[in-house]
Structure 1
């Protein structure tokens, strides 16, 4: 994050170069936090109510006090105001983090939360398909467990930190994550899709993949345009090796096509069409937003 930018802590604007946490912060001590990463276009957060609802669902699961988080409309206004204050005129990456109040050891003294909003500029406007395909590998040193909070983004992310280090060591653009059933379920910070004979496949939520906001939008868009989308219980290398195309999705980048997984190379035909559909849908979303 650019330290010269302003941030918001519980709605209060603070310079990004100021210390804001004590050593007793529970996100720091125990990873007791959830976050959402949101792309903003024209200073408005995309599909914000889906992000907010996922955050509420995660808070409820972790027994955080939902009433201590302001309503969606207030948070949305604060994001737009922060972008304007920081004079960011292009597309923006926003991170909304919520963490339990200080106090206690493993057992908290309070379930009320604090929230932090950070913004930073993106280098592109709109969802731009990567001109050069990604090269992938599979991270198999650790497995992602299937549990009730595996669908949410938490501050307890050591699995993904280690996977990121593996990616660096292998000199790859991304890596695929494996669950405890030895199924490939997602990318490092993205959901996984693959295409075979014009059928689009993606792991279902029960596989332990993140319940991605972009994943949700893509499934909706594809089905609205009469594409066949099948949600399956994860996949394996042999299935991906036989696929025609692979792409990854997340809320910031939209979709990113994959050129290679280990020794296999892939096309980028349908992925281009899907990227166009996504941008058309995003433009429609923004038009509706501005009219309302």
Structure 2
């Protein structure tokens, strides 16, 4: 069942018309959420990022778009899909309502909530081979729009196609200065000794929720030092570890980039702390 503006439709039932602006112009934003036994991981962070994104895109935020109301809508969607007592991956998409060409007739919005099954209640570390390569066909702009989870993700799609066609598990995206900023599906971190490095938002990377949580964990730690600075592609082969972060998988260790192979000791350490942080926020 799909939740469209608070009304439920079967997954095979048409909801949109050809005039949908998310379809025609990529005029929308979304959040991907992890829901476990009626609790939403890092819900406040997702909510406030969604509100900030809508304001940046000049969307009209409905009066009922409160933290509590949207939480209820998300959990109702999980329940309608028989996932209220289990594990759910939820996508919450907001698009400007149809009308107009490039310039919209108005800034009102509609939302869609989808839910599907997850396999584990907390984040787990994958041990299989995970090989990546740079994607150099197109580059990400260094601007505020690049930091948002918009429905206009054509560059990520093409990078994903490139990875699939060439036998890679993921691709690493570069900005217009040819600096490493993120992967197709999340932010990236490099480990060199006790220093853990990630690209700054100013370089055009996604303002990721798990990126933020991992940075908080590193900053609170006495064993690691955080470096939020630009990453040259040449640094990738000098790193001890290299991993991707996102809201569904948590941390995905990269095992190989070209001739370089990586360990996952620090990733495993951080994943345990990320799970502890999630549990703490769920019970607070």
TM-score by length of 1: 0.94
Q: Quickly say closer, same or farther: Cα 1:106–1:69, change in 2 above 3 A.
A: farther
Q: Which residues of 2 match residues 183-202 of structure 1 at below 5 A?
A: 183-202=179-198
Return the alpha-carbon distance in structure 1 between the equivalents of residues 115 and 121 of structure 2: 15
Tell me, yes or no, if the aligned pair for 1:68 and 1:112 is still in contact at 8 Å: no
> Which residue in the other structure is 2:227 paired with?
230
Q: Within the alignment, does 1:176 sit opposite 2:172 as a pair?
A: yes
Give the gaps of 5 or more residues in structure 1.
Answer: 1-5
Q: Within the alignment, does 1:104 sit opposite 2:115 as a pair?
A: no
**Range with bigger deviation, 142-151 or 105-114:** 142-151
Give the counterpart of 1:149 among 145, 159, 170. Answer: 145
Superposition deviation, residue 237 in structure 1? 2.3
Q: Within the alignment, does 1:16 sit opposite 2:11 as a pair?
A: yes
Secondary structure in structure 1 of the residue aligned to 2:245: strand
Superposition deviation, residue 69 in structure 1? 6.1
Give the counterpart of 2:73 among 69, 78, 96. Answer: 78
Q: Quickly say closer, same or farther: Cα 1:211–1:73, change in 2 above 3 A.
A: same
Give the counterpart of 2:41 among 46, 59, 75. Answer: 46
The number of equivalent residue pairs is 282
Return the alpha-carbon distance in structure 1 between the equivalents of residues 13 and 44 of structure 2: 30
Q: Which residues of 2 match residues 51-130 of structure 1 at below 5 A?
A: 51-67=46-62, 70-88=65-83, 89-130=85-126
The root-mean-square deviation of aligned C-alpha atoms, in Å, is 1.2
Give the gaps of 5 or more residues in structure 2.
Answer: none
